[in-house]
Structure 1
Amino acid sequence: MIRFLLLLALVLSFNNSYGQLGFCNGSKGDPIFQEDFGTGSGYGPRLAAGITNYSYVTQDPQDGEYTISSIIGREIPSWHSYSPNLTPSGGKALIINAGFTAGQFYRTDISGLCENTTYEFSAYLMNIYNSASGACADGDIPVNVKFQIWDETDTQLLKEGSTGAINSTAFPLAEEYALTFKSAPGQNNVILKMFNNGEGGCGNDLAIDDIIFRSCGDLTSIDAGNSSNMDLRVCEEDTPYNVDLKATPDNTVYQTHAYQWQRSLDAVNWTDISGANQSNYTVVNLVQSTYYRVKVAEDSINLTNNLCSSFSEAFFVQMVSVPTAPVSNGDVVVCGNSEIPQISVKAGVDEMVNWYDAPSGGNLLQAKSFNYQPDVAGIFYAEAKSTLIECKPSSRTAVKITLDNIPDVEDETIQICPNSNISLDAGVSGFNYMWSTGENSQTIQVTQQGNYTVEIATNLGCAVTREFTVNDIDDAQISDVRTDENSIEIIPVNIGVFEYSLDGVNFQDSNVFLGKPGGVYTAYMRDKSGCNTVSLQFPYISPLKFITPNGDGYNDNFILRGVETFPSSQIMIYDRYGKLLKASNGSNFSWNGTLEGKDLPAADYWYHIKIEGFGELKGHFSLIR
């Protein structure tokens, strides 16, 4: 689709090459004529008879031909392959391949003009030759178009102007050109003519779109008192409101001025204000937002026709309502030691929010922010104000931050006895509970090992989870009891968490007992949960580890402490070769390291103790000389 880019702002002056052309510098009316060459895709329709002497084709035109199309550069690769996208209408355009001789290529009649009125003629032009193609070996011919406005008799030239050279570019580029003229009294029709000022050849091919005629009037501004802005804002609490409006034309076009004030609620649908026909107008008892503008014509007869007059820009008297209270994005609950988050509210368009520490009055905590970051929990108040004008603020919206404490809990590992149950307790009361079993009481009963969790929650929704690991109880069994001269050690069959005792009353975690006298003992062993207790009776005799029979009174004889409690016991001493050296019962047994009165050499010797009802004890000791 052919569309064109406006290179510069439409009201900028052209350089000296375009001195004969010019835009309307004042206010413009609605288009009285607009040729946009249609919309859609493809080619056509052809121009009406008499508009051009060029030949119509349905492809890229050759010299002396034209087409109406939304596409270019199909058959002629040196043309731009696409078009800009910013003309008012878009759609199709008139594509001209200039003839070999300069001359007129377009003529059309314009009717419906208002008499004694200044008009602006404008059109968009584009050089469609792509300078980057290099197709013109000797250089391309610039586009140069002359515009003429004739009276309806085609005898009086009212205005003319030429574009000057429109050079080719390496990318699609369109530009709007315009000239102004004034209709005479009684004149309602004119003729538009366009001429190719350059001869045909390589280049000099153009596209034209949006040929527009519209009235041109003074640039009229409206002000209210000392305000030069095109709007006035009024607080709702100050209504009904009165204001004096003044229209000031710049006198660049009209020699005389006729006025008609209009009002609108949407800046689209306008109605005349009866009797408001002066440059000044007083608005009385205004209670709602309203747009005002003034229609200006050089002759009062043209005020009834929008095509024969011009309009000022709309002046907006905006009533600024008292804002509604901001809408809270929700109160916040802070669980335990979590960081205090931001709180926030929503407000209307063109409104800001201030935060306070009280529902009215109080201290300003933060200005112009929809969010607030408190340092502590509490209630905070958001107030909306207009950003357009200093007016009455809204009522305040309370946003609450509540600190919700949650209990400190620790995970626990416990054991369960075979074929029994055990109670699991959340450990804190007064909360809401949700166990992994689906139960919701503070305590539950379980009958098998596994992992159990309980979510402990407050009424405000803060929660903490406690985990219980329930294991089957360790099997308490005694493998052996080992003794030496100073200690008793109870040896378990399995590795586990057990308690040990020698009296069945006082239990300890350690399985070693020290400093016990010799005698008959019972070793007790149980699991920590007290599911099972086992016992084993054993004799405790404490033999010496070595003897030094040198007569100093220390360890001169091998004795068995505690054996005296077993009078029916039998004790035997052997050398390394198994030779029996001494045998006796357990009463007051002692051996001094001699055999038949002679000292035996330093060496290791073995003892063998038979205790009635307990079996045998064997071991060895050293004789040191």
Structure 2
Amino acid sequence: MKGFVLVLIFSLFSLGSLHGQIEFCTGNTGDPIFTENFGTGLTNGPALAPGTTTYSYVNGAPSDGSYTISSFTQYYDWHNTADHTVGDTDGRSLIVNASFTAGEFYRREVSGLCENTTYQFAAWVLNLLPSPNSCPNGGIPINVRFEIWDITDTQLLRSGETGPIGAMTAPLWENYGLVFQTLPGQNEVILKLINNGQGGCGNDLAIDDISFRSCGDRLLLEDEANETSRIVCQEDGATTVQLEATPDFSVFNTHAYQWQESLDGINWADIAGANQATYQSPPLLSDQFYRVKVAEDAVNLANDNCATVSDIYQIEVVPAPLPPSGNPLTEICEGEIGVLQAVVSAGERIDWYGQASGGNPLLSDNREFSPPAAGIYYAETVDVRSGCLSTTRTALELRFVPPPDVEDETLDFCQGTSAFLSAGYVGGTYQWSTGEMSPEILVREPGTYTVLVTNRAGCAETKTIVLEEIIIPRISLVRSDHREIQIEVAEAGDFEYSIDGFNFQNSPNFPDQVGGPYLLVVREKNGCGDSRLNYNHLVIPRFFTPNGDTQNQEFTIEGAAGLSQFRLRIYDRMGQLVFETGDPGIRWSGLREGRPLPSSDYWYVLQADDQVLRGHFTLKR
């Protein structure tokens, strides 16, 4: 900008010095008259205009007495940091390596000022030297002196300095400024920044965002509720505000006003006829920004270089937030604590109610709610900043689900077969102790089985099934004890017995049976099967009396007629064979070689088909 002179001076002070006369406007400032942010880009430069500085431009690392303009700061062992300008991408700053000799560093003129007007100059400064570093004693600190002169460069209007800024462990941009007033008839000034110090190890800095603004009263902009902004809900309809600007008379003695409006807070337009300290807005249905431009004289309102602007008053019209989203039905198991959950966007909260509209919240500002009982509850969105509510509430139901209704069982199955075991519940998931996951399983072994049944709500119950095996009868031995048939089985069970296949009894013993063939049947009472055996019942006498009385005169064996193999041997007490025959129809009268044997006990060995029978009988005379 033509006519603006900026000079930088670096001076070495003791580390204990205070910043000298650095100050900022305590009131409101105007829009920037001049701003230097050195642009953006990954390449260095361009160099400053001729006459702006006595330092040499380099496209790279500046040595003592030179500078560069770059987005890269990590030359030598300096800090690696971005420029100061907010929102920049690859923003540049002025990077300086101080000269060994003091002198004017940077100069520019500014024109177009208004006479008798207060202004603020400001710049951001950064010491590039890190701490610790390789310089002796921590390096030379930077110190920038700011001076504002009249255009003849003979009258100093204002000055100040940063004071010594030493090396820092992390890069820190710091803001410094001056406030001054133009003289009558004065509309140009010179701004100098001067280096009075020495170059060497240290005294390396970056400068960015140099600005120049008008300075005026501190202006309080409030509505009728003494608020500096307002947030309203779109659902409440149009709104109006009564705004009032109140200056503190710290700079201006008189005040001229021009109210301005904006849709974005950036681009402003004057409001025709709005030139008083108060302003009544029209009905508003959307966002609106207001500010007021102020000068000591109405003539200066047309020149932005001579006027200041108030802080911005914003009316923000907030649309109703969306209702919360969440699972409309939450099912949990009986005995557990139920939790309803809902989701809203950032900057919104949830209040919970027991009805679809009205009433007091059961719980505020929580995205989870644990109801005391099952039922339907309602979640309402509240915009945190505005307090605006969703137009409807979201209904969320909590339902307590009982665990699966299953009962333990004791079952049985027939030996040698298989059995189906059922969980006894439809529509769940299943985990059997066998590892299977179906509602039913087929097993072949007795034992205890369990199945964990889980319903759709995740509620689980364990069912236990005791499976017992029913033994199938197996005839292991049959005895003919004289006229009694005795049946033995291999394993005990719930059996019944028969010797004809039709008539059954619980006892395995059948007394008073005549000799002869029988069909022996042992069956399991639950129908699991039977065991059958064709058996020839032999009735062997326990004694006989061949004494001529016609009663029991001969030794005979009942039931032997059907045998295919028969051999009978009879022995006396001495073990001598006294009789032998292969005739099943034996009728022995107690003779040996035609002579009667004496009364005594005799022993026999009978080979009857596949069995050998041994015993004794008595012969009585």
* 1:183-582 equivalence runs, <5 A: 183-184=182-183, 187-227=186-226, 229-234=227-232, 239-319=237-317, 325-334=323-332, 337=334, 339=336, 341-347=338-344, 351-360=348-357, 365-385=362-382, 387=384, 394-402=391-399, 406-408=404-406, 478=474, 480-481=476-477, 488-491=487-490, 500-503=495-498, 517=511, 522-524=520-522, 530=528, 533-538=530-535
Kept in 2: contact 1:354–1:367 (CA 8 A):
yes
**Aligned amino acid, residue 132 of structure 1:** P
Tell me how far 1:306 sits from its aligned partner.
Answer: 4.2
Kept in 2: contact 1:522–1:537 (CA 8 A):
yes
1:97 paired residue number: 97
2:29 paired residue number: 28
1:17 paired residue number: 18
1:62 paired residue number: 63
SS in 2 for 1:30: coil
Tell me how far 1:352 sits from its aligned partner.
Answer: 4.1
User: Within 2, Cα distance between the matches of 1:102 and 1:195?
Assistant: 8
SS in 2 for 1:50: coil
User: Within 2, Cα distance between the matches of 1:157 and 1:305?
Assistant: 25
Pair 1:385–1:171, CA change in 2 (3 A): closer
2:8 paired residue number: none
RMSD over aligned CA atoms reads 5.6
User: Within 2, Cα distance between the matches of 1:111 and 1:506?
Assistant: 135
User: Within 1, Cα distance between the matches of 2:136 and 2:494?
Assistant: 108
Kept in 1: contact 2:569–2:577 (CA 8 A):
no
What are the Cα deviations for residues 285-313 of structure 1, in whole angstroms up to 9, with x where unaligned? 44444332222233323333445433222
Tell me how far 1:104 sits from its aligned partner.
Answer: 0.7
**Aligned amino acid, residue 213 of structure 2:** R
User: Within 1, Cα distance between the matches of 2:373 and 2:503?
Assistant: 54
Pair 1:426–1:281, CA change in 2 (3 A): same
Kept in 1: contact 2:119–2:179 (CA 8 A):
yes
Moved more, 478-487 or 16-25: 478-487
SS in 1 for 2:299: helix
What are the Cα deviations for residues 375-427 of structure 1, in whole angstroms up to 9, with x where unaligned? 44322233445555677874443323345665526799897999x99999886
Structure 2 residue 612 is matched with structure 1 residue 616: yes
SS in 1 for 2:241: strand
Kept in 2: contact 1:148–1:192 (CA 8 A):
yes
User: Within 1, Cα distance between the matches of 2:81 and 2:359?
Assistant: 63
**Aligned amino acid, residue 119 of structure 2:** Y
User: Within 2, Cα distance between the matches of 1:131 and 1:391?
Assistant: 51
SS in 2 for 1:120: strand
Kept in 2: contact 1:414–1:468 (CA 8 A):
no
**Aligned amino acid, residue 340 of structure 2:** I
Structure 2 residue 105 is matched with structure 1 residue 110: no
User: Within 1, Cα distance between the matches of 2:570 and 2:306?
Assistant: 145
For the pair shown, which has the larger CA radius of gyration, 1 or 2?
Answer: 2
Moved more, 282-291 or 34-43: 282-291
What are the Cα deviations for residues 41-63 of structure 1, in whole angstroms up to 9, with x where unaligned? 34322221111112222333333
What are the Cα deviations for residues 6-44 of structure 1, in whole angstroms up to 9, with x where unaligned? xxxxxxxxx972232211222233322222223223432
1:551 paired residue number: none
1:132 paired residue number: 132
TM-score normalised by length of structure 2: 0.68
Pair 1:176–1:391, CA change in 2 (3 A): closer
2:594 paired residue number: none
**Aligned amino acid, residue 103 of structure 1:** G
Pair 1:542–1:199, CA change in 2 (3 A): farther
Pair 1:46–1:383, CA change in 2 (3 A): closer
1:7 paired residue number: none
User: Within 2, Cα distance between the matches of 1:188 and 1:607?
Assistant: 158
**Aligned amino acid, residue 19 of structure 1:** G
**Aligned amino acid, residue 194 of structure 1:** L
2:123 paired residue number: 123
**Aligned amino acid, residue 132 of structure 2:** A
**Aligned amino acid, residue 481 of structure 1:** L
SS in 1 for 2:250: coil
Pair 1:404–1:478, CA change in 2 (3 A): same
What are the Cα deviations for residues 66-114 of structure 1, in whole angstroms up to 9, with x where unaligned? 222333454x4xx425236645457333232322322111112234444
Kept in 1: contact 2:145–2:161 (CA 8 A):
yes
**Aligned amino acid, residue 193 of structure 1:** K
Gaps of 5+ in 2: 1-15, 431-438, 446-450, 541-555, 588-596, 617-621
User: Within 2, Cα distance between the matches of 1:477 and 1:189?
Assistant: 126
User: Within 2, Cα distance between the matches of 1:579 and 1:295?
Assistant: 152
Moved more, 202-211 or 512-521: 512-521
SS in 2 for 1:303: helix
SS in 2 for 1:208: strand
TM-score normalised by length of structure 1: 0.68
User: Within 2, Cα distance between the matches of 1:121 and 1:573?
Assistant: 148
Pair 1:425–1:69, CA change in 2 (3 A): closer
User: Within 2, Cα distance between the matches of 1:218 and 1:16?
Assistant: 31
Pair 1:432–1:488, CA change in 2 (3 A): same
**Aligned amino acid, residue 372 of structure 1:** F
User: Within 1, Cα distance between the matches of 2:539 and 2:427?
Assistant: 61
Tell me how far 1:258 sits from its aligned partner.
Answer: 1.9
SS in 1 for 2:371: coil
Kept in 1: contact 2:356–2:393 (CA 8 A):
yes
User: Within 2, Cα distance between the matches of 1:186 and 1:197?
Assistant: 32
User: Within 2, Cα distance between the matches of 1:327 and 1:55?
Assistant: 64
User: Within 2, Cα distance between the matches of 1:102 and 1:578?
Assistant: 151
Tell me how far 1:221 sits from its aligned partner.
Answer: 1.8
Equivalences, count = 544
Kept in 2: contact 1:500–1:523 (CA 8 A):
no
User: Within 1, Cα distance between the matches of 2:20 and 2:343?
Assistant: 56
Tell me how far 1:579 sits from its aligned partner.
Answer: 7.4
Pair 1:60–1:501, CA change in 2 (3 A): same
Pair 1:349–1:82, CA change in 2 (3 A): closer
Tell me how far 1:249 sits from its aligned partner.
Answer: 2.1
1:152 paired residue number: 151
User: Within 1, Cα distance between the matches of 2:269 and 2:479?
Assistant: 118
**Aligned amino acid, residue 71 of structure 2:** S
Pair 1:396–1:445, CA change in 2 (3 A): closer
User: Within 2, Cα distance between the matches of 1:50 and 1:284?
Assistant: 53
SS in 1 for 2:132: helix
User: Within 1, Cα distance between the matches of 2:168 and 2:457?
Assistant: 70
Pair 1:121–1:482, CA change in 2 (3 A): farther
Kept in 2: contact 1:150–1:156 (CA 8 A):
yes
Tell me how far 1:371 sits from its aligned partner.
Answer: 2.8
1:172 paired residue number: 171
**Aligned amino acid, residue 27 of structure 2:** G
Pair 1:364–1:542, CA change in 2 (3 A): farther
Kept in 2: contact 1:457–1:464 (CA 8 A):
yes
**Aligned amino acid, residue 177 of structure 1:** Y
SS in 1 for 2:214: strand
User: Within 1, Cα distance between the matches of 2:148 and 2:223?
Assistant: 40
What are the Cα deviations for residues 524-552 of structure 1, in whole angstroms up to 9, with x where unaligned? 3569775x644124579999xxxxxxxxx
User: Within 2, Cα distance between the matches of 1:275 and 1:141?
Assistant: 58
Kept in 2: contact 1:500–1:507 (CA 8 A):
no
Tell me how far 1:196 sits from its aligned partner.
Answer: 0.7
Pair 1:262–1:565, CA change in 2 (3 A): farther
**Aligned amino acid, residue 40 of structure 1:** G
Kept in 2: contact 1:417–1:529 (CA 8 A):
no
User: Within 2, Cα distance between the matches of 1:38 and 1:327?
Assistant: 47
Q: Percent identity between the aligned chains? A: 37
1:53 paired residue number: 54
